[in-house]
Chain A
Amino acid sequence: MRGSILGIILGMALVTFLPRFLPMALLSKWVLPEKVEMGLSYIPVAILATIVFPALFSDGARIGIYPQYLLTAFAIFIFAWKIKSLWGSVVLGMLIYWLLGFVI
Chain B
Amino acid sequence: MNRSPFKEGVKAALPIVLGYLPVGLTFGMLARQVGLTSSEVALMSLFVYAGASQFLAIEMISRGMAGLSIILATFFINLRHLLMSSNLSLYFKNTRFLILGLLSAQLTDESYAVAISKLPEIENRPPYLFGLQVTSQLAWIGGSVAGTFVSSLAKGTEWGFPFALPALFICLLVLQIKSLRHLWVMVMAGIFSLFFKWALPGNWYILVTALLASGIGILIETARRGQ
Interface set of A (CB-CB < 8 Å, partner B): 1-2, 4-17, 19-29, 32, 35, 37-57, 60, 63, 69, 72-73, 76-77, 79-81, 84-87, 89-90, 92-98
* Chain B: interface residue total (CB-CB under 8 A): 96
Query: B40, B162, B163, B217: which contacts A46 (Cβ < 8 A)?
Result: B217
Stretch of B2-10, B46-54, B135-143, B148-156 with 4 or more beta carbons under 8 angstroms from chain A: B46-54
B202 at interface, CB cutoff 8 A = no
Which B residues touch A37, using CB under 8 A? Answer: 90
CB distance from A86 to the nearest CB of B (A): 5
> Residues of B contacting A44 with CB < 8 Å?
87, 113, 116, 176
Report the Cα distance A51→B207, complex, angstroms: 11
Known contacts being A1-B37, A43-B84, A53-B194, is A12 close to B162, with CB within 8 Å?
Answer: no
How many contacts between A and B, using CB within 8 angstroms? 277
Q: From A11, A20, A92, give the contact of B78 (CB < 8 A).
A: A20
Instruction: State the B residues within 8 Å of A (CB).
Output: 14-15, 18-19, 36-37, 39-40, 43-44, 47-50, 53, 57, 61, 67-68, 70-72, 74-75, 78-90, 92-93, 95, 97, 100-101, 103-105, 107, 109, 113-114, 116-117, 159-164, 166-178, 181-182, 185-187, 189-190, 192-194, 197-198, 205-206, 209-211, 213-218, 221-222
- Chain A: minimal CB distance from B77 (Å): 9
Given A50-B189, A85-B171, residue A20 in contact with residue B40 (CB < 8 A): no
Write the nearest CB–CB distance from A90 to chain B, whole angstroms: 5
The residue of chain B having its C-beta at the shortest distance from the C-beta of A13 within the complex is: B47
Give the distance to chain B from A12, nearest Cβ to Cβ, in Å: 4
Q: For B166, list chain A residues within 8 Å (CB).
A: 52, 55-56, 69, 72-73, 76, 93
Which among B53, B74, B87, B177 has the greatest number of chain A C-beta atoms within 10 A?
Answer: B87
